[in-house]
Amino acid sequence: MPGYTHLEGLTSADIARLRATYAPLAESVRHLIDATIRSEVDADEVAAVKADIDRATARLQAKQIDGPFGVRFTSDGDRLPWGNPAIGLRNPIAPPLVMVKDPDGAIHTDFHLGAAYEGPPGHVHGGIVAMVLDHVLGEVAASDPDSPRFTGTLTIRYLRATPLGALHAEGRITRTDGIKAFASGRVSDADGVTAEADGVFILPKWARR
Amino acid sequence: MPGYTHLEGLTSADIARLRATYAPLAESVRHLIDATIRSEVDADEVAAVKADIDRATARLQAKQIDGPFGVRFTSDGDRLPWGNPAIGLRNPIAPPLVMVKDPDGAIHTDFHLGAAYEGPPGHVHGGIVAMVLDHVLGEVAASDPDSPRFTGTLTIRYLRATPLGALHAEGRITRTDGIKAFASGRVSDADGVTAEADGVFILPKWARR
């Protein structure tokens, strides 16, 4: 499968070093995204800041991966989905979601969404809610790294608007049937569930044995 | 409805000036996001760039909106959803999608997704496909600005992985029934449809007359 790069020879210490280098950069860019949306400084100041950002971008581009990040594996088999827009620690678009596996096989994540994820005023864009649920359900359905499953069908029921701020999402497999896994999940705030989802996830042909 | 701010007194020229100020900044931050994911420069250089970005963020934060952007309206009734993560011209997370209304009431958008939207290697994250479909369907269902409808249920069928690159999405209302609108849509690449969606959109209580 193209794009699944094995980083042979990278030790756990190398991975830790790369994480310590790039995670703080992405976090800084997340703050910049928020400020870009909310700033009220004048046009001259915005133009000056834009020029600084363009210079910063050029410095980062001096040496870069050819193409998107892909999913990289270490020689120990660790997965590094660092470019992922839901969980990628190098992707400033990602909140990033941190997935926690529960003893019973379910997965949950506690996260915070700010101005960058706003649809209806003060509330999370319905499409971002969909992205969170797609990712949580996909992750629980693909919990066996040798059997990556991709989303077949995803149905989301929006019970009420999801407020910006502290949120929780969780998912679990409800049933498997050959190449299919059925998963369900939900997003909630402190007052309860705001959206529910059911998904059917399918093992791709290239991964079937 | 809190968060729907009317910017009384802002003329079309003021809006054009604000757009010319902030849209290029967001576009620069989009390039920075891409470079943040793909850069391979060394740790010292990343740390130096991070410090520059933190300074840029602080300059933008010197004067900023208290809270998220919301949806702002001009005195002419023009909607400014500039902070929106799908279409917001001030939101670096947004591609941004540019929605085009067709004569028959359908809506379409042609857009490009790069490294920041990658899930499976070389392909768009399923949750980003969901976000695009949620937004396109929601926009077509809410095409009357006095009757904003919010997503009730959204079902997405992923036919095949959506490659990164040039993409097209479209949506149309298939039926309305009182406070509900039924919409369907799809995402496609040059080779055809990659994902389809059906949605039920509901007029919120506060907007019912």
CB contact under 8 Å between A33 and B37, yes or no, is: no
Radius of gyration of chain A (CA): 19
pLDDT digits (tens, 9 = 90+) for A120-136: 899 999 999 999 999 99
Nearest to B150 among A45, A53, A120 (CB): A120
Burial level of A206, CB count in 10 A (0-12/13-18/19+)?
exposed
Helix axes A43-61, B12-38, angle to 10 degrees: 20
Please report residues of B whose CB lies closer than 8 A to that of A62.
41, 45
pLDDT, mean over chain B: 90
Q: CA A54, CA A72: separation in Å to the nearest integer?
A: 28
Predicted local confidence at residue B169, as pLDDT: 98
Instruction: Find the mean pLDDT for residues A88-103.
Output: 96
* Residues contacting B73, CB < 8 A, separation 6+: B4, B5, B6, B7, B79, B80
Query: Nearest CA to A81 among A3, A25, A151, A161?
Result: A3
Instruction: Flag whether residue B63 sits within 8 Å of chain A, measured between CB atoms.
Output: yes
Q: Is the pLDDT of residue A159 over 60?
A: yes
* Whether this model's pTM surpasses 0.95: no
Which of the four pLDDT bands, split at 50, 70 and 90, describes residue B13? confident
Nearest chain B residue (CA) to A64: B39
Task: Say what the pLDDT of residue B199 is.
Answer: 95
d(Cα B120, Cα A71) in Å, to the nearest integer? 7
Inter-axis angle of helices B43-61 and A43-61, nearest 10:
170
Least confident interval from A88-102, B40-54, B66-80, B103-117: B66-80
Closest CA to A197 of B127, B75, B61, B137: B127
Looking at chain B, the whole-number percentage of residues with pLDDT higher than 70 is 90
CA–CA gap between residue B104 and residue B171 (Å, rounded): 11
For an interface test with A, give the residue of B37, B123, B198 to mutate (most A CBs within 10 A). Answer: B37
B24 to chain A: closest CA residue = A50
> Which token pair is A169?
């999402």
What is the pLDDT at residue B131?
97
